[in-house]
Amino acid sequence: MSAIYDSSNIFAKILRGELPAHQVYEDADTFAFMDIMPRSTGHALVIPKTPARTIVDATPTQLSACLATVQKIARAQMAAFGADGITLQQFNEPAGGQVVFHLHFHVLPRWDGVKLQPHTGQMEKPDVLAANAEKLRAALSA
Ligand code: AMP
**C-alpha to C-alpha distances, 22 to 6, 19, 54, 77, nearest whole angstrom:** 23, 10, 23, 15
Q: What is the pLDDT along the chain (142 residues), one digit of tens a residue?
A: 557 999 999 999 999 999 999 999 999 999 999 999 999 999 999 999 999 999 999 999 999 999 999 999 999 999 999 999 999 999 999 999 999 999 999 999 999 999 999 998 999 999 999 999 999 999 999 9
Q: Which of 50, 45, 59 is nearest to 119 (CA)?
A: 45
Domain locations in the chain? 10-141
Start-to-end C-alpha separation, the chain: 42
Q: Residue length, the chain?
A: 142
Domain 10-141 fold: HIT family, subunit A (3.30.428)
In this prediction, residue 1 carries a pLDDT of 52
CA distance 41 to 114: 11
Contact indicator for 66, 26 with CB cutoff of 8 Å: no
CA distance 29 to 39: 26
Point out the ligand 1 atom lying closest to the alpha carbon of residue 34: 21
Distance 104 CA to ligand 1 centre (A): 9
- In short, whether 88's Cβ falls inside 6 Å of ligand 1 is no
